[in-house]
Amino acid sequence: MSHYYRPLPISAGEVTDAALPLGGTGKFFYKIAVLSRSQAPRIVLAKEAPAAVLEALTAPRPAFAGLSLDRPRLMGILNITPDSFSDGGRFLGAEAAQRQAAELARGADLIDIGGESTRPGAREVPAEEEMARVVPVIEALRDAGLTTPISVDTRKAAVARAALDAGADVINDVSGFRFDPELADVVAERNAPVILMHSIGTPETMQAQAKYDDVVLDVYDALAATRARAEAAGIPRGRILLDPGIGFGKTDDHNLALLRRLSLFHALGCGLLLGVSRKGFIGRLTGTERPDQRDAASAALGLLAVAQGIQMLRVHDIGIHRQLLAVADALGT
Ligand code: HH2
């Protein structure tokens, strides 16, 4: 595609009949920034965009894992790993994991359980070990009556299968089906909703490969190809959330460029998820060494994402992000 269309959401106070709805998010836009690889951006009235683009931008997204996407949702993070950058080692035992899940469930719409760290430099974990970390926790949570939808953060078909059997609902693959092609078949066979994230290389190597012609347009094209692969495997568009993958094979400047133009990704016609919570680039921007001291800046970026119509935020601190959503809702932002 030579032109890319980024809707410019407007404030709730300025919505008139001429405004177009943004993907059923409750947000609206009149104008679109037209981006290309060869020309400076232009701003045009929305109605000047091709019909197929307007259809992708305006069509309401179907509910995802039973969650309507007409308001922003929170995914709470639960890492059952010894080495995750923020909470590594804290929730390794089933009991500690269960306590944290109960805490998250108070305010999270979805709980994301991961048994393999994917922070830059992290080593791959064998499928058996990953399963041994996440499956007993998912089983224990379901046995205890937890009804919150659970996603499993895995790149592997075998882990996905075992997690779905144990009571997980959603697959969250940071490799966007690149790591294990069989994972697409598992998702299709099981009719599971899926989150497909943009990344390059593997967590061990990705930062060395962080090179793009134009990071925003390159990530857009890669996500379009990922969505097409998923659809070819039999996964309908309405069961897919896409994620630009902040921090995965991206420099700080790449991350900032993506955050400035997040609403572009609505043109892919899927719901969108964003994970910025406590990530390393926030530490570098704010001079905060400890991940658990990065929640204020994480929430500030979360608000920016919500204002651009992002449907789901992946976060560590649910309480702070519930406050963010309350003020955003009151403002109509
Ligand atoms: N980020 C991380 C892990 N999984 N999934 C999606 N969809 N989007 C993300 O941005 C994302 C993700 C990395 O964060 P975390 O789980 O907190 O750490 P670690 O990978 O070290 O376990």
Residues ≥6 apart with Cβ < 8 Å to 330: none
Render pLDDT for 138-163 as a digit per residue (tens, 0 to 9): 999 999 999 999 999 999 999 999 99
Strand-pair partners of 29: 9, 20
Q: What is the pLDDT of residue 85?
A: 79
- Parallel/antiparallel/unpaired status of strands 73-79 and 110-114: parallel
Strand-pair partners of 172: 153, 195
The ligand 1 atom nearest the CA atom of 117: 22
Residue bearing tokens 């996905």: 160
Q: Is the pLDDT of residue 89 over 80?
A: no
Give me the DSSP letters along 179-213.
S-THHHHHHHHTT--EEEE---S-TTTGGGG---S
Catalytic residue among 27, 261, 279, 294: 279
The amino acid sitting at 102 is: A
% pLDDT > 70, the chain: 100
Whether residue 314 lies in the annotated active site: yes
CA–CA dist 168, 117 (Å, integer): 19
Residues 169-198: what's their mean pLDDT?
Answer: 98
Tell me, rounded to whole angstroms, the distance of Cα 284 from its chain centroid. Answer: 22
CA–CA dist 192, 195 (Å, integer): 10
* pLDDT, mean over the chain: 95
| 101: three-class secondary structure by DSSP | helix
The ligand 1 atom nearest the CA atom of 87: 17
Residues 44-56: what's their mean pLDDT?
Answer: 96
**Range in 88-102, 220-234, 236-250, 318-332 with the lowest mean pLDDT:** 88-102
Render pLDDT for 129-139 as a digit per residue (tens, 0 to 9): 999 999 999 99
CA–CA dist 204, 210 (Å, integer): 12
Residues ≥6 apart with Cβ < 8 Å to 173: 154, 155, 179, 183, 194, 195, 196, 197
Whether residue 31 lies in the annotated active site: no
- Parallel/antiparallel/unpaired status of strands 42-45 and 28-36: antiparallel
* Residue with CA nearest ligand 1 atom 8: 275
The DSSP code for 117 is -
The ligand 1 atom nearest the CA atom of 83: 21
**Range in 32-46, 71-85, 229-243, 299-313 with the lowest mean pLDDT:** 71-85
> Between the ranges 1-15, 194-208, 223-237, where is the mean pLDDT highest?
223-237
Q: Is the pLDDT of residue 40 over 70?
A: yes
Residues 101-129: what's their mean pLDDT?
Answer: 93
Q: What is the pLDDT of residue 1?
A: 61
* HSE-up (13 A, CA, CB side) for residue 326: 7
Render pLDDT for 264-297 as a digit per residue (tens, 0 to 9): 999 999 999 999 999 999 999 999 999 999 999 9
Handedness of CA 218, 224, 229, 230 (dihedral sign): positive
Distance 312 CA to ligand 1 centre (A): 14
Handedness of CA 135, 229, 307, 174 (dihedral sign): positive
Q: Which two tokens stand for residue 75?
A: 């995914």
The DSSP code for 39 is S
Strand-pair partners of 150: 111
pLDDT bin (cut points 50, 70, 90) of residue 16 is confident
pTM: 0.96
Residues 183-203: what's their mean pLDDT?
Answer: 96
Candidates 273, 271, 330, 277; CA nearest to 22 is: 271
**Range in 170-174, 181-185, 204-208 with the lowest mean pLDDT:** 204-208
Q: What is the pLDDT of residue 126?
A: 95
- The set of protein residues with a Cβ atom below 6 angstroms from ligand 1 is 77, 79, 81, 84-86, 114, 117-119, 153, 172, 174, 195, 197, 243, 245-246, 273, 275, 314
The ligand 1 atom nearest the CA atom of 81: 22
CA–CA dist 240, 332 (Å, integer): 26
Candidates 309, 301, 263, 234; CA nearest to 60 is: 309
Catalytic residue among 155, 156, 261, 314: 314
Q: Is the pLDDT of residue 217 over 90?
A: yes
Q: What is the pLDDT of residue 284?
A: 97
Candidates 150, 101, 74; CA nearest to 326 is: 74
Length of the chain: 333
Tell me, rounded to whole angstroms, the distance of Cα 111 from its chain centroid. Answer: 13
Q: What is the pLDDT of residue 86?
A: 78
Q: Is the pLDDT of residue 215 over 70?
A: yes
- Exposed, middle or buried by CB within 10 Å (0-12, 13-18, 19+), for 68? middle
Q: What is the pLDDT of residue 91?
A: 79
* Residue with CA nearest ligand 1 atom 2: 118
